[in-house]
Amino acid sequence: MRAERREQPARRRGAHAVRNTQPLPAKPESGVKRVLLRTALAIAALAACVALFAPQLSGQRAQLVSAVSKPISKLQIEDQWQRVNEAEVMAILRRYVGSGFFEFDLDGVSRDLEALPWVASVELRRVWPDTLALHLKEEVPIAQWGQGHLLNQYGQLFSPSNAADFTDLPRLQGPDASQDQVMQQYKQLSQVLMPAGLRLNALELNQRGSWSMVINTMRVEAGRGDVLNKTQRFARFYVQQDSAETAQFESVDLRYGNGIAVKKKALILAPLSDVAQR
pLDDT one-digit tens code per residue, 160-198: 999 999 999 999 999 999 999 999 999 999 999 999 999
Question: pLDDT tens-digit profile of 138-151?
Answer: 999 999 999 999 99
Which amino acid appears at position 257 of this protein? G
pLDDT for 98 equals: 84
The residues, ordered by sequence, that sit 6+ positions from 142 with a Cβ below 8 Å of its Cβ are 150, 151, 152, 153, 169, 170, 183
Same domain for 168 and 187, yes or no, is yes
pLDDT at 119 over 60: yes
Same domain for 164 and 257, yes or no, is yes
pLDDT at 132 over 90: yes
For the four alpha carbons of 33, 36, 38 and 40, in that order, the dihedral sign comes to negative
Distance from C-alpha of 121 to C-alpha of 183, rounded to nearest angstrom: 21
pLDDT for 28 equals: 52
Distance from C-alpha of 72 to C-alpha of 88, rounded to nearest angstrom: 19
pLDDT at 25 over 50: no
Same domain for 156 and 229, yes or no, is yes
Write the DSSP symbol of residue 2: P
**Higher-scoring residue by pLDDT: 135, 60:** 135
pLDDT, mean of residues 129-140? 94
- The domain boundary, picked from 138, 167, 186, lies at 138
Same domain for 159 and 260, yes or no, is yes
| CATH value at residue 109 | 3.10.20.310
pTM value surpassing 0.75: no
* Beta strands at 157-158 and 131-138: parallel, antiparallel or unpaired: unpaired
Same domain for 213 and 188, yes or no, is yes
| CATH value at residue 206 | 3.40.50.11690
- The domain boundary, picked from 84, 107, 138, lies at 138
How many domains, in total, are found in the chain?
Answer: 2
pLDDT for 54 equals: 60
**Model confidence band, residue 68 (pLDDT cutoffs 50, 70, 90):** low
pLDDT at 78 over 50: yes
Same domain for 161 and 253, yes or no, is yes
Sheet containing 261-264: which strands, arranged edge to edge?
Answer: 157-158, 149-151, 143-145, 171-173, 200-205, 211-215, 218-223, 249-253, 261-264
pLDDT for 39 equals: 73
**Higher-scoring residue by pLDDT: 78, 168:** 168
72-81, 98-107, 163-172, 263-272: segment of lowest average pLDDT: 263-272
Question: What value does the mean pLDDT of the chain take?
Answer: 83
- The domain boundary, picked from 115, 138, 161, lies at 138
pLDDT, mean of residues 98-119? 94
Task: Specify whether the CB–CB gap between 72 and 129 falls below 8 A.
Answer: no
**Domain hosting residue 114, numbered range:** 74-138
